[in-house]
Structure 1
Amino acid sequence: MLPNNPILKSLINSLWNVLWGGGISNPLTAIEQITYLLFMKRLDEIEKQRENETKKYVSKFSGKYTPEFILNKTESEKKSKKEIQRLKSELRWSYFKEIKSKEELLKHVRHNVFPFIKTLNGETSPFTKHMSNAVFVIEKPSLLSEAIEKIDDIFIEIEKDAKDGGHNFQDIQGDVYEMLLSEIAQAGKNGQFRTPRHIIKLMAELIKPKLGDKIVDPACGTSGFLLGAYQYILTDLTRKKSSIQLEKDEDGFETGSYSSVLDEKTKAIIDKSFYGFDIDITMVRLGLMNLIMHGIDNPKVEYNDSLSKSYNELNCYDVVLANPPFTGKLDKDDLNSNLRVDTTSSELLFLDRISSMLKIKGKAAVIIPEGVLFGSSNAQKRTREIILKDNNLEAVISLPSGTFKPYTGVKTAILMFTKVKENSEEWNTKKVWFYELQSDGYSLDDNRRRLKDFPLPETVIEFDNRNKSKKTDRKSHFYVPISEIQENDLDLSYNRYKEYVYVEQTYDPPKEILSKLILLEQEILKDMEELNNLIG
């Protein structure tokens, strides 16, 4: 995968440097422009694949368009360009990358190709709506030409890595995309940290979304959780159809070729399954393109603050997967009156919001800072009460403190809960399963190197079999009854209930230890005397 492919990593760094050297120094602007180009390339690849799979498929590049800029203009075309119709095939990456004139290439991409992709899904789609104000800012012909060459080289290396390493093409492309996205992840900025892909996979495996589930992330960023749920569903469909098509990925999870299960009926269901909200319009665009590049034709990602007065969806979703912003302070005047926790701390409000978004029997997997689990403020205790009363809190999975490095070393946990009743007066949680993940399969330093063990699938197995376990001790994973949790002021931290084993240490008598030290000192002095004689 990407961390082990120095060629691919070098190409990505080179692409980044090309834009940086070309005057696009704002990381967010650079990633937007790179994403637009990646999207153009990937769209061409997807359309070719679908055209080859079935002769009945009508490509997005079928038909004609009216160009704003006309290639190889004749005098008559210059005078009546509004009436000139050209084949949409000219808008394909494979066509325009062959344009020899760099000036014509830039004008064609800016004035014809980019407007085309902005309206790709029709006037009423979220993609078209949120792309309406998108701007193509590459102004230098040589910069665009070089960037196109770099992206072609990246895709060639992706294909080679997929073939030689037996990896899934989409997974490697996801690595490429995530590395680019990591350039805009600044630790501490609004409390937002990009969730590692292997943690997203773990949460999808734990929650097990099904085809037809309505799945949402209320603070979706670049839609990594939605993509993780989508890939889990396709892998599960592949498993049911033909398990021999599955293989183990680099984290020990099963994955497979998705093309065999993506028929028209499945695609239609998937198009109605994925929803996301974010307060950053750039993230909305990146999230939409990320999902479309992976085969979700019409995702429902919207520019909206799910904590604000403008958001009023309740009891709507079957699955919530989220890593909401930590410690973000909000405008109290704009908070939705339906929120039940008196605070401006985003991590608490999002837990309340996620609980209310779930349908009855809907499931959630949410990453939260561990301070939420044991904090003594009224808002923190009220939040835990909502989770324990309105839901069956099934598990608290403590993550290693280095999970979000190099961005932050904050200790986090995953909460797994199922909705039972809104505004319940009773405790619908009867017992909570606690588990400590000591390693996530990567080194817990800033480098995050892949290790040899595979602890994440083991975590899923333990979670799935938690009710079958006959363990009575509390040394690694265990149940705690709600009565004990109530006695501990609703503390939900793993360390509160863990059983610590103390090994008794025996020591030599002090006089014996001193005698050994004297002998050791004499040996050192003897060696020093010999050394002194050697140097004269």
Structure 2
Amino acid sequence: MSISSAIKSIQDIMRKDAGVDGDAQRLGQMSWLLFLKVFDAQEEELELELDDYREPIPEQFLWRNWAADNEGMTGDELLEFVNDKLFPELKNLTAPIDKNPRGYVVTQAFSDAFNYMKNGTLLRQVINKLNEIDFTDSKERHLFGDLYEQILKDLQSAGNAGEFYTPRAITKFIVAVTDPKLGESIMDPACGTGGFLACAFDHVKANYVKSGDDHQILQKQIHGVEKKQLPHLLCTTNMMLHGIEVPVQVKHGNTLNKPLSSWDDQVDVIITNPPFGGTEEDGIEKNFPSDMQTRETADLFLQLIIEVLNTKGRAAVVLPDGTLFGEGV
């Protein structure tokens, strides 16, 4: 079965489940399942490559050990395992970023994730459909990237995901103009599902990576922060699909929730489409100079970008009309 057919079948199955309400929840449900499957596919590769390999999470929670067998757990047994064992364990996993970075990635990904499905038999059917996709196959990964984007487009057309999806044509244009190079720090402070970061990764890989050492450098130069759980989880999965083995640089948090004066990092390239048209929670504006305080999100991000950008750095930002020339701050 093709990836597009598998995903469509998964969406149809989820529509039968009383616990999944609407496209956003279907995407959220699919996202943590996809994450675990992609994560385990990478673990199998690392297990073959590394002599000192150790599982970053308890072995029983690796996809291969609870989900890969199509005749495995189902019904109430599967629901109990997911709700009472898998989620609590992965949410509360002790995984220091310096000692177990891949475990840390899992904990961050599951920090606010949720199993919406209430029917264990339907959940097994969804898992079995995912088992038809081989994420160790490079062609499958490439096709999934296209489909992944289509899912987000569908949600955007439904009015649910516009805040964290930027059309590919825009991301490609911005990345081409800024031309990030190997070794330069690349940041999206409101990275959503990782469209800019993935495009930048592909750009550097295609134009500047010449060796395995170069590839390792590239993996460490991509940085992103996303406030909301769902796009953060999608971004983490997106980075893994693009070849970043340990996407610890993709943080789950609010970039603006830090005093502007405390930013020591200087970034070479910033590419972003920050949320605009909304306001931040009370108190966030106090992280900025008194004469520049506002709760308008886009204005705060613009100040942040100016502050953290390297003197000779480049930035390309999608902003609404009037941001640069409107009255006041």
User: What band does the TM-score fall into relative to the shorter chain?
Assistant: 0.7 to 0.9
| Structure exhibiting the larger radius of gyration computed from Cα positions | 1
The two structures have a TM-score, normalised by structure 2, of 0.78
Quote the Cα distance in structure 2 between the aligned partners of 1:319 and 1:378. 27
RMSD: 3.6
What is the aligned-residue identity percentage? 28
Q: Give the secondary-structure state (helix, strand or coil) at the position aligned to 2:268.
A: strand
Q: CA shift at 1:171, angstroms?
A: 3.0
Structure 2 match to 1:122: 95
Q: Give the secondary-structure state (helix, strand or coil) at the position aligned to 2:181.
A: coil
Relative distance call for 1:55 and 1:284 in structure 2 (3 A) is closer
1:268-317, CA deviations, whole angstroms, 9 ceiling, x for partnerless residues? 53453232223323333332333234332132233433334556425521
Contact 2:3 2:144 in 1 (8 A): no
Out of 196, 208, 218, the residue aligned to residue 179 of structure 2 is: 208
Relative distance call for 1:274 and 1:346 in structure 2 (3 A) is same
Structure 2 match to 1:348: 299
Quote the Cα distance in structure 2 between the aligned partners of 1:195 and 1:231. 16
Quote the Cα distance in structure 1 between the aligned partners of 2:62 and 2:161. 38
Relative distance call for 1:182 and 1:60 in structure 2 (3 A) is farther
Matching of residue 361 in structure 1 with residue 292 in structure 2: no
Matching of residue 326 in structure 1 with residue 276 in structure 2: yes
Query: Which amino acid is 1:279 matched to?
Result: K
1:416-442, CA deviations, whole angstroms, 9 ceiling, x for partnerless residues? xxxxxxxxxxxxxxxxxxxxxxxxxxx
Matching of residue 178 in structure 1 with residue 178 in structure 2: no
Alignment map for 1:454-465 (pairs within 5 Å): none
Equivalent residue pairs, number = 317
Q: CA shift at 1:321, angstroms?
A: 0.9
Quote the Cα distance in structure 2 between the aligned partners of 1:171 and 1:106. 32
Quote the Cα distance in structure 2 between the aligned partners of 1:190 and 1:51. 36
Alignment map for 1:150-229 (pairs within 5 Å): 150-153=129-132, 155=133, 168-185=139-156, 192=163, 194-229=165-200
Contact 1:39 1:293 in 2 (8 A): no
Quote the Cα distance in structure 2 between the aligned partners of 1:213 and 1:361. 11
Quote the Cα distance in structure 1 between the aligned partners of 2:143 and 2:300. 35
Contact 2:205 2:218 in 1 (8 A): no
Q: CA shift at 1:8, angstroms?
A: 4.2
1:452-509, CA deviations, whole angstroms, 9 ceiling, x for partnerless residues? xxxxxxxxxxxxxxxxxxxxxxxxxxxxxxxxxxxxxxxxxxxxxxxxxxxxxxxxxx
The two structures have a TM-score, normalised by structure 1, of 0.51
Which is strand-richer, 1 or 2? 1
Relative distance call for 1:60 and 1:179 in structure 2 (3 A) is farther
Relative distance call for 1:158 and 1:202 in structure 2 (3 A) is farther
**Structure 1, unpaired ranges of 5+:** 1-5, 66-87, 163-167, 242-260, 380-536
1:41-78, CA deviations, whole angstroms, 9 ceiling, x for partnerless residues? 222322333445x36362637xx94xxxxxxxxxxxxx
Structure 2 match to 1:83: none
Query: Which amino acid is 1:102 matched to?
Result: T
Relative distance call for 1:310 and 1:136 in structure 2 (3 A) is farther
- Higher normalized contact order (CA 8 Å, seq sep 6+, divided by chain length): 2
Which is helix-richer, 1 or 2? 2
Q: CA shift at 1:114, angstroms?
A: 5.0
Query: Which amino acid is 1:203 matched to?
Result: I
Q: CA shift at 1:196, angstroms?
A: 1.4
